[in-house]
Amino acid sequence: MNEWTHDPEEILATFAAEIRHNMLTDSVWSGNSAMVIPKQLRDRITAAGWQKQDIQDFMFRHTRLFRRAWATVGKGKIVDRSGGPQQEFRALREPSDLFVAAAGGPAGGFGAIMPP
């Protein structure tokens, strides 16, 4: 949910945060994800000249985390395991691993992420 901006990067940062949250609390393994963008947000993104590939590229760059982040969700005991705190995990193997769909009515900034 992000109805407070017209900036595509800020809108997509909210979606990226949801993917990273899922990686922290569920699974860090890369895979295909789906993203549903409601009309209100889609209109703002396309008005700025963004295309589906721009969305996928942005999300690919912003949906990664480092093992050290697990300490913020009560999983500190696994931070120093193999790979160490600097080990990087990406939600998507490549930008095209994100299926982007437009759906929903004309009002509201409620989108959805469906993890792998």
CA distance 49 to 54: 9
Sorted by where each begins, the domain ranges of the chain are 8-86+94-114
User: What is the model's pLDDT at position 106?
Assistant: 79
Question: pLDDT tens track of the chain, all 116 residues?
Answer: 888 899 999 999 999 999 999 999 998 889 999 999 999 999 999 999 999 999 999 999 999 999 999 999 999 998 999 899 999 999 999 999 999 999 988 778 899 999 98
Global pTM reads 0.92
Arithmetic mean of pLDDT over the chain: 94
